[in-house]
Amino acid sequence: MAAVDDGPADQACAITARGLVKEYRRGDVVDRVLDGASLEVPKGRYVSVMGPSGSGKSTLLHLLGGLDRPDAGEVLLDGAPLSSLSDDDRTRLRRRKIGIVYQFFNLVPVLSVRENIALPAVIAGQRERTYRDKLEQVIELVGLTDHHSKRPNELSGGEQQRTAIGRALFIEPSVLLADEPTGNLDFRSGADILALFVEAQRAFDQTIVMVTHDPRSAAYGEEVLLLRSGSVAGRLDLDSRGQDTARADRAHEARPRAVLRWLEDQEQLDLTPHPPRRARVEGQAAVRL
């Protein structure tokens, strides 16, 4: 279970964040986007992260994925420090242990589905015979067996996102991070992608952390975290609520209703933007505005 502080300590965590702070400087103004964000995600857990625009969701995902470093706090991947590594070491670790799925697919246009999915192995210098069976398994999982030779411009948006998910899963990552993965898709294609995440979680015991603004998308997770003003402000455990049917069926209509009710309780139903915390720099001190 992901949590701010109240998760069971005896479960092995795939990824942990402790007191993350991230600031961006614009002239003499400092925007504190993250302000002490903490969470724990046990192995095999599917966690959705919600929050208003400007609450730090994407920044949090970038820090969890080793794409950037926090100004304070730390990120642990499989119990080992991530944020303290050098840029080169973080890059190497990310290639081996972190799968990332973006809203806009980020596929190589001149490569086929098969070649895009296998790209991490090619970059690592592996021979195809060493990964051929795994590649076929992943292509089948993401439902692209009949499209494996097509290039991205020959695919629908949903098929392109399936390819991107296949590439992320191909490395057998410790954690799969997804940043608004359905934001560029129609409703049906988006639902198919979310169902694929659930299938990957169940097939590979895959840990997933997904950022989304959509309560219906968030409801596919087992747990929802609310990020507000740069820190984790609330937690909803969907597995502990509702009937057995809703717990087993991630697409069950009761799940998004539970998320919406919870957001109402958090006074965040409309997820309206909150400006980042700002400071004016005077000498060596930062003065809150």
Q: Give the model's confidence band at 210: pLDDT under 50 very low, under 70 low, under 90 confident, else very high.
A: very high
CA nearest 220: which of 182, 185, 186, 184? 182
Q: Please report, as a single letter, which amino acid is at residue 4.
A: V
| Residue 81, SS3 per DSSP | strand
Q: Give the model's confidence band at 246: pLDDT under 50 very low, under 70 low, under 90 confident, else very high.
A: low
Reported as a single tens digit per residue, the pLDDT across 2-29 is: 444 444 443 589 999 999 999 998 888 8
Mean pLDDT confidence for 187-211: 93
* 102 Cα distance to chain centroid: 9
Asked if 50 and 256 touch (Cβ cutoff 8 Å), the reply is no
- Separation of alpha carbons 154 and 152, rounded Å: 5
In angstroms, what CA-CA distances link 170 with 100, 121, 122, 282?
A: 11, 9, 12, 49
Tokens of 149: 């030779």
Multiple choice CATH, 13-288, 3.30.565.10, 3.40.50.1440, 3.30.70.3270, 3.40.50.300: 3.40.50.300
3-state helix, strand and coil shares in percent for the chain, rounded to the nearest 5: 35, 25, 35
Asked if 207 and 176 touch (Cβ cutoff 8 Å), the reply is yes
| Residue 114, SS3 per DSSP | helix
Tokens of 105: 């697919």
Residue 217 pLDDT: 95
Percentage of the chain beyond pLDDT 90 is: 66
Neighbours of 8 (CB within 10 A): 9
Neighbours of 232 (CB within 10 A): 23
Check pLDDT > 70 for residue 280: no
Poorest-pLDDT segment among 97-101, 225-229, 233-237, 249-253:
249-253
Domain boundaries, the chain: 13-288
Asked if 59 and 33 touch (Cβ cutoff 8 Å), the reply is yes
Q: Give the model's confidence band at 55: pLDDT under 50 very low, under 70 low, under 90 confident, else very high.
A: confident
Reported as a single tens digit per residue, the pLDDT across 157-195 is: 999 999 999 999 999 999 999 999 998 899 999 999 999
